[in-house]
Chain A
């Protein structure tokens, strides 16, 4: 029983007149996980707070849960589950108290409440923590408690504000996998805000990339990565090589040689290629000199100068070339692809 969430012409202006969000239309499909990605100050948290009911859109903006207009409902009456960046666990309650708080507010009888709390703690694989004080929990445990607390009330929508940011890198990766599985299994409509593009790619069924109070692109992770709608999206999501040259006779001519034009229009052209779309290739038609090579464990990242106007980054699984060495490059289609001007 998943819920569709829609924002209709939702804008938000702060009391001091600054515009945090430009008028935005956004439909989140039932059961979908939408990742909202953007740099700090882009309006992604504002968007989340509008859906939550912690902030209200400027008129005539509307927020709909299914066909129900919840625009004027404050958060306590929207039945949303929210996971905060700081987790905001109640220090005065133990773990079970935190998870059961929403049920207690809904007058769920104690026996049933205990059973449901136990079920959620088991699902989060932390049943042994039920009577632990929250200040005795590790970061990962806090995250799980926060999630259990938000889900225990069976919310219509689950909202997550940078849920993994407070954790260290290794744990973050682990919980990302776990969270992705959980959201898929539960089939609950969820919106989750992050500034980490890898997280957005891994967790989102779709990703909304935001900048300066506006959604720049909304699409599947692969679309966002392979077919960025704007220059900002292209550069913000993943590493990007900018190839500025000229297309003549089906070939993109660059300072260090050429690459197949792949249908780029003739004339001066701006093309993009991801590091893994380029490779070191003795038969390649583009030549440059290795500036540096970084060993990354499973692969080697090589920075090449002279091939294009700016240094180009290539990733290879083969042996690392030496700085100063001359190398040849080729591209794997669809690269080079057209790069939006703006």
Chain B
């Protein structure tokens, strides 16, 4: 690694570092702002405080609980709906599979605000559904399902699941035994990456949720928008800090899990 590097390397490194700075500095800024006693006077002059974080937890704790709950529920739903679909698509590639995949990916191709509006028009007047948190859950499942399917499918195809299953069948394994001992264990890296993606996306979903939420069902990102609009800057920052503390570990885990799942695809 002591090879001579030219000016091109230095320029590339400088440019990439600049882009990284553009992405990271605002994250640091917003986290620091949430700990600053008085933003206008600066963190050094006014000092560090957890006061704003306390206020946020007091004002918005319910949004955090609701968002985490919806994210976990969305995870369960996408596992139940998505893993079988990925399996079916891996086993039977063809015209029908392409069509099913196309249909499944559509909710992601269409802006959340449009999907949200459509959901309200179709189901908004049905009983108590509109004011129940499951109304938001439905939207989140629509939006996150393709990510679960695609992540799982990619790994299933990478490990050449159809041949592994033929091998299991030749040894006498019926469908259930096969699914439990061959399909699930070998698709696990993809399911894990997909799960982390689902939880992360659900926690941060705003475009659709703003349409779907009611005063009784305010999620974390909707609460964030509310605080940005109506609270002082330090509270918005502290709230952002709380959100990022929740989100960033998930993103780091997601990066790790995707590398693992993708590395698998490369290695085989």
* A and B touch in their complex, CB below 8 angstroms: yes
| A interface residues (Cβ-Cβ under 8 A, vs B) | 52, 54, 74-77, 79-82, 84, 86, 88-92, 101-102, 105-106, 135, 149-150, 153, 159
Interface size on B, residues (CB 8 A): 20
Bound form: Cα–Cα A89–B186 in Å: 11
Asked whether B167 lies within 8 Å of A88 as measured between CB atoms, the reply is yes
Asked whether A102 lies within 8 Å of B171 as measured between CB atoms, the reply is yes
Known: A88-B166, A105-B177. A76 touches B159 (CB 8 A): no
Contacts of A75 in B (CB 8 A): 166, 169-170
Contacts of B188 in A (CB 8 A): 92
Known: A84-B167, A135-B267. A91 touches B186 (CB 8 A): yes
- Interface status of B160 (Cβ within 8 A of chain A): yes
Contacts of B160 in A (CB 8 A): 86, 88
Bound form: Cα–Cα A105–B174 in Å: 9
- Nearest-neighbor residue (CB-CB) of B164 within chain A: A88
Q: For chain B, what secondary structure do more than half of its interface residues adopt (helix, strand, loop), or is it mixed?
A: helix
Partner of B163, one of A79, A81, A86: A86
Per-position binary interface string of chain B over residues 176-189, scored 1 when its CB falls under 8 Å from any chain A CB and 0 otherwise: 01000110011010
**Interfacial residues of chain B within 199-254, with CB under 8 A of chain A in the complex:** none
- Interface status of B172 (Cβ within 8 A of chain A): yes
Across the A-B interface, the 5 shortest Cβ-Cβ residue pairs: A102-B171, A92-B185, A82-B170, A88-B167, A76-B169
Known: A86-B160, A88-B163. A74 touches B168 (CB 8 A): no
Contacts of B181 in A (CB 8 A): 90, 92, 101
Q: A90-B167, A92-B182, A150-B171 are in contact. List 4 more A-B contacts (CB 8 A).
A: A76-B174, A77-B172, A81-B170, A101-B168
Bound form: Cα–Cα A135–B159 in Å: 12
Known: A90-B186, A91-B186, A92-B182. A74 touches B167 (CB 8 A): no
Q: List 16 A-B contacts (CB under 8 A).
A: A77-B172, A88-B164, A89-B167, A90-B182, A90-B185, A92-B185, A101-B168, A102-B172, A105-B171, A105-B173, A105-B177, A106-B172, A135-B267, A149-B171, A150-B171, A153-B171
- Nearest-neighbor residue (CB-CB) of A78 within chain B: B170
Per-position binary interface string of chain B over residues 1-29, scored 1 when its CB falls under 8 Å from any chain A CB and 0 otherwise: 00000000000000000000000000000
Contacts of A81 in B (CB 8 A): 170-171
Bound form: Cα–Cα A135–B171 in Å: 21
Asked whether B163 lies within 8 Å of A105 as measured between CB atoms, the reply is no
Contacts of A149 in B (CB 8 A): 167, 171
Asked whether A79 lies within 8 Å of B172 as measured between CB atoms, the reply is yes
Partner of A76, one of B164, B170, B185, B267: B170
Contacts of A153 in B (CB 8 A): 171-172
Contacts of A105 in B (CB 8 A): 171-173, 177
Bound form: Cα–Cα A46–B171 in Å: 19
CB of B257, distance to nearest CB on chain A (Å): 17
Contacts of B166 in A (CB 8 A): 54, 75, 82, 84, 88
Bound form: Cα–Cα A105–B159 in Å: 22
**Interfacial residues of chain B within 143-198, with CB under 8 A of chain A in the complex:** 159-160, 163-164, 166-174, 177, 181-182, 185-186, 188
Of A84, A88, A89, most B-chain CB atoms within 10 Å? A88
Contacts of A54 in B (CB 8 A): 166, 169
Contacts of B167 in A (CB 8 A): 82, 84, 88-90, 149
Bound form: Cα–Cα A77–B168 in Å: 12
Bound form: Cα–Cα A211–B160 in Å: 28
Asked whether A150 lies within 8 Å of B170 as measured between CB atoms, the reply is yes
Bound form: Cα–Cα A159–B167 in Å: 11
Contacts of A90 in B (CB 8 A): 164, 167-168, 181-182, 185-186
- Nearest-neighbor residue (CB-CB) of A103 within chain B: B171
Contacts of A106 in B (CB 8 A): 172
CB of A142, distance to nearest CB on chain B (Å): 12
